Structure formats: C-alpha cells, structure tokens
Amino acid sequence: MPNQIKIFNKLESFNKTIEVTSDKSLSIRAVLLASQAIGVSTISNLLESEDVLNTVKSLKKLGINCKKIGNKYKIHGYGLNGFEIKKKTTIDAGNSGTLGRLILGLLVKSEKTVKIIGDKSLSKRDFSRVTEPLKKFGTNIKSKKNSLPIEILGTDFLRPINYFETRGSAQCKSAIMLAALNTPGTTIIKAKKSRNHTELLFKYLKLPIKLKSNKDFDFIEVTGLKQFNAFNYLVPGDISSSAFFIVLTALSKNSKIRIKNVNINKSRTGIITILKKMNCKISLKNKKIYKGEETSDILVESSKNIKAFSCPSSLNSSAIDEFLAIFLIAAKAKGISSFKNLGELNKKESPRLNIAVRFLKNIGIKVERQKNDIKIFGNPNLKVNKNIHIKNYLKDHRVFMMACIAALSFGGKWKINDKDSINTSFPIFIKILKKLGAKIN
C-alpha cells in the first residue's frame, strides 16, 4: 500500500549527532510578521514543511511578494495591513491551526472579504475560540458552524479589546496580539501561560508591548498602529520535532544523541522538565540567546531506570505537543504516572488523548482514564510481540511519529499508514531515523 511504512525490527544502539528541522511556530510567526513590516525581510533556515509553505502561499495570495533566493526567504512587506487583496480570495490553511488562526488576526482590517478553508482535520477544529474575541474588535466574520470555512471582512473602525485567554492557547493569544497591531489604542490581554514567541518577536521588533506575569498568567498590553521595519531572522531547530528523538534515545539501549541548535524557550521545554523527573539523562550544552529566544544542543543518553511521575497540569502548556512522546516514556517507567486536565490534547490535529489511550492499551499498557485525566501503568519490561496496524488517525503527523518511535523501541511488527502526514511539520523524520540505523520499508 503506498504511503504505508513497515517496521519489523527494533533499533540497535546508536551514537549520533543530528539536526532536526526548524521550529514551526517561529517559522510561521516570522513570515507573518515580515508581511506587516516595511521593506524586505530575510528569513533564513525557514522550515520548509506544508504548514509553513502554506503560510507563504497565503501571503502571496494577499499580495505580498515572497521569494526564495538561495536558502533564504525574502518577504516584501508594505507595512501594517499592506495587503492587496483580490475579489473572492480564498486562503487554504491546509492542516495548520497556527496559520488558520493567526492569519485571521492579521485580516481584521482587510478591505475585501477573504475566505479561509482547511483540510479535513483542520475543518473539524474549533475556530470560535478566535473568531469570538476577534469580532469584538469590530471585524466582520461569518461561519456556518464554529469551524472553517470562515469569511472575514475587515473594518476601518477597529476598537481595542480586553481579552481573557483561559485555555493556555498561544494561537488564541497570538491572533489577538496580531489584531491589536492594526487597532488604535491599547488591547489588554490576560492569558493563561503558553508559548511566548509572539511576545518575544514583538519586543525584538520594538513594537509597543508591555509584559507582566505571575505564576499562572501573562498580562500583555499591545498598542496598535506602530509601523516597523523589515528584519532578518534565523530560525532555530524545533523542540517538538526533537521530542521524538529524545524519547527514542532514552528508550534505546546503549545509545546517545546530540541534537544541534534547538529552541529551548522555557515555554516549550516541559518535555525536558518531565523526562528529567522520570530519570532520563538529558543535558543542554552550548546555550545561546538569539533575539530573545534561547537555543542549545540537546544531549540525551539511554535511561536504565525510568520512574513514574505525577505531572502537574502547570506543565501541560509547555509540553502540549510532546505528550504523545512523553506517554511512551511513561509506558516503560516503573510505577504509575499520572497526567491531568489534558482536554486540549483532544483539540489538536486529531483527538490525541483518545488516540493515545487506545494506542497504549493496544501495546499492552494498562491505562485508567477519568475525563481528561489519565494514569499510565508503566512496565519496565515492555515488549510488543504482535502485529499492529496504525490507521484512521486523521493523518496526524505526531501520531505517525509516535507510532514509529514505539515500533523502534518496543518491537512488534508494525504497519503504519499515512507517511505523508510528516510533511506538515517534519518532512525528513524518516531520513533521520534511517541515519540512526532504523530499518523501515
């Protein structure tokens, strides 16, 4: 069957240095903000995955000149709301929630109606979480349900809003921050903690932003209508892509890996905090700060005595895209690990909490679930001795990658459908697995 891979062998030990592809969140934000700057911005090391290339394509449709020269993307911005929009423009956000939601924030002042569509998975996801607050700015938004397709027509009479973000969603927070750029006056946001890349980029671009925070919330004020100049940005590696190799190494015998130049912004490193508590050997070397973002090499060694962990929900947001990988570590731990309030996991590219519970049970792990809390009964001697076929998961890239890591770590004879899903975030995932010695057909 095309697009299906087979893994029939566990991975032997390895000792390698790898580079994962660039950070998806930063790639999308850098390109979107460049479209609002004055002049030609240069983005280097942009992630060339479907989600990011769809962002570039969408901006081109909105009249922004984007060109790839050598390995750099040149984005020609004409300032805030400097779009030239043709009648009946449709933007296809593909699989990307980040693109679909953030671009709505940029379109609050659009002079023509823009329709946003997405693939089957994105069309199932809730957009009211961004359209409801965006409507309060005064912009016109139409959708039949709370999901795509959505039509947006901007207004010249935008007004700033007070917004309380309660889910820990960086997409919601960022969509409102982008809308605030085009809005006169000061938009005030109280947001449950989530990744802060948009805030750091606003600061680097010297946009009028005030930031305060306490343990649980960030308080953000953005004053609109300040033009800013084009910029250069070099995108570092993605910790969400690294996660699969961190876990694979921890679960493999006598192995070591160095993952070079990864973004280790504290709002993203929940996986490192959690896995260290579970006795995994992880260290960060060669730390640097780049335009407010912290980067480093990540070194991981095999872990012999993985232990269970009760994960506090305060770590959920900083590990939100990594839980599928973290659950594999919990499956091999001594003891019972618990994870709480993971409702947001079911709001991703696929219902990941439901899928993870089914997946873990299928590989012989006992799981107890109460609503959005789960307990994973780890088995340090876990070995899979059966045939497993992974299919019908809405082509969620992270489910595909989790299944590959489980197959290479626990054994069994696996068939995994929809290999192309990795193109949304990490097109060279399988190539790197093969470099580590994985046998994949």
- Which residues contact ligand S3P (rule: CB under 6 A)? 25, 97-98, 169-171, 174, 195, 320-321, 344
Nearer to ligand S3P among residue 11 and residue 422 (C-beta): 422
Residues with active-site annotation: 321
CA distance 408 to 94: 30
Least separation in angstroms between residue 408's CB and ligand S3P is 24
What DSSP line would sit under 241-283, residue for residue? HHHHHHHHHHHSTT-EEEEEEEE--TTTTHHHHHHHHTT-EEE
Give the pairing type, strands 5-7 and 413-416. Answer: antiparallel
Least separation in angstroms between residue 29's CB and ligand S3P is 7
CA distance 39 to 428: 32
Backbone φ and ψ of 237, nearest 5°: -70, 160
Task: Go through 17-40 and write b for each residue having 16 or more CB atoms within 10 A of its CB, e for each that does not.
Answer: ebebbbbbbbbbbbbbbbbbbeee
Kindly report whether the peptide bond that precedes residue 149 is cis, defined as omega within 30 degrees of 0: yes
Nearer to ligand S3P among residue 170 and residue 356 (C-beta): 170
Q: How many CA atoms lie within 13 A of 386 on its CB side?
A: 8
Least separation in angstroms between residue 413's CB and ligand S3P is 31
Nearer to ligand S3P among residue 321 and residue 418 (C-beta): 321
CA distance 224 to 228: 11
Nearer to ligand S3P among residue 55 and residue 169 (C-beta): 169
Two tokens, residue 95: 């699989």
Least separation in angstroms between residue 334's CB and ligand S3P is 30
Nearer to ligand S3P among residue 11 and residue 34 (C-beta): 34
Nearer to ligand S3P among residue 45 and residue 169 (C-beta): 169
Nearer to ligand S3P among residue 110 and residue 317 (C-beta): 317
Least separation in angstroms between residue 174's CB and ligand S3P is 6
Least separation in angstroms between residue 439's CB and ligand S3P is 30
Least separation in angstroms between residue 197's CB and ligand S3P is 7
Helix (H) or strand (E) holding 178: helix 170-181
CA distance 374 to 348: 17
Rg (CA), the chain: 22
- C-alpha distances in Å from residue 113, one per residue of 67, 88, 140, 144, 176: 25, 7, 9, 16, 19
Nearer to ligand S3P among residue 320 and residue 403 (C-beta): 320
Give the pairing type, strands 387-390 and 413-416. Answer: parallel
What DSSP line would sit under 24-87, residue for residue? HHHHHHHHHHHTTSEEEEEEES---SHHHHHHHHHHHHTT-EEEEETTEEEEEEESTT-----T
- C-alpha distances in Å from residue 393, one per residue of 8, 109, 420: 21, 37, 13
Least separation in angstroms between residue 364's CB and ligand S3P is 29
CA distance 441 to 4: 9
Q: What 3-state class would DSSP assign to 352?
A: helix
